[in-house]
């Protein structure tokens, strides 16, 4: 995740989540953004391997990360403790 532009992807994701949840405490979209960014990186690594991941690869994996996150929050017994995106 230390590739050029990956921080830009992270900050854009956090910004989008913050805009989508204006009434939420600032820590909520921050935590969700970091989690989703990491998950997207993991998904990109599964697809193309850990060598040579680019920010674009992470960005392209965000939709799947969101789908997996949504599935997780609806199937976990801690559903009420995890904030939906």
Count the Cβ atoms, other than its own, within 10 Å of residue 3: 15
Whole-number pLDDT of residue 1: 64
> Which run of H or E residues covers position 84?
none
Does the pLDDT of residue 76 top 80, yes or no?
Answer: no
Instruction: Give the residue-averaged pLDDT of 68-73.
Output: 84
The DSSP result for 8-57, as a single string, is: HHHHHHHHHHHHH-TTS-THHHHHHHHHHHHHHHHHHHHHH-STT--HHH
From residue 46, how far is each of 14, 39, 59 by CA, in Å?
Answer: 23, 11, 14
Q: What is the pTM of this model?
A: 0.82
| Cα–Cα distance measured from residue 79 to residue 60, given in angstroms and rounded to the nearest whole number | 27
pLDDT digits (tens, 9 = 90+) for 13-63: 999 999 998 898 889 899 999 999 999 999 999 999 888 899 999 999 999
């Amino acid at each position: 995740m230390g590739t050029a532009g990956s921080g830009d992807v992270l900050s854009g994701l956090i910004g989008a989540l913050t805009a989508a949840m204006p009434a939420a405490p600032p820590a909520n979209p921050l935590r969700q953004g970091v989690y989703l960014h990491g998950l997207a990186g993991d998904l990109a690594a599964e697809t193309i391997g850990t060598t040579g991941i680019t920010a674009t690869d992470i960005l392209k994996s965000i939709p799947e990360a969101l789908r997996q996150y949504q599935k997780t929050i609806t199937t976990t017994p801690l559903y009420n403790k995890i904030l939906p995106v």
